[in-house]
Amino acid sequence: MSDTPDVHQLGQQTALPASPDAATLERVANPHPGTDYVARFTAPEFTSLCPVTGQPDFAHLVIDYVPGQWLVESKSLKLYLASFRNHGAFHEDCTIAIAKRLADLLEPTFLRIGGYWYPRGGIPIDVFWQTGALPAGVWLPDQGVAPYRGRG
């Protein structure tokens, strides 16, 4: 069992949640709450389903945040993101729902998400959202995902 209170998935065998709503996102105390720094999570193989056709959609997600009092527990984030595999929603809905759920849970100083969706029907859809201004003096690197330029 974990030494961190309110963390129940870490160190335990945990089944994939049936849906994003059924997934449990967990947080842990930030060991440096007075220091502004960026934590980045990258999910280059994110998948969900088109709500109309049921066909799979694929994205490269980059989540950057400046923690306040809380950090997201990474196993719970991994399971939450994986729960979208059988979830039907448009690209914009998936990206913004993830961002808002993290912002509500963590109450970060700053959070941004880039959802770089692979083309379906010849059109890539990239979705970006952030909570506000980055604190002064915090280094936030480029998300490192090349813009879509076709197959040429």
Q: What angle do CA 80, 113, 88 make, to 5 degrees?
A: 45
In terms of Cβ atoms closer than 10 Å to its own Cβ (0-12, 13-18, 19+), residue 100 is: middle
Question: Among residues 6, 21, 36, 57, which one is catalytic?
Answer: 57
C-alpha–C-alpha distance, residues 145 and 152, integer Å: 17
| Residue 50 falls in the annotated catalytic set | yes
| Residue 57 falls in the annotated catalytic set | yes
Phi and psi torsions of 86, nearest 5°: -110, 20
Question: Among residues 36, 50, 93, 126, which one is catalytic?
Answer: 50
Q: What residues are annotated to the active site?
A: 50, 57
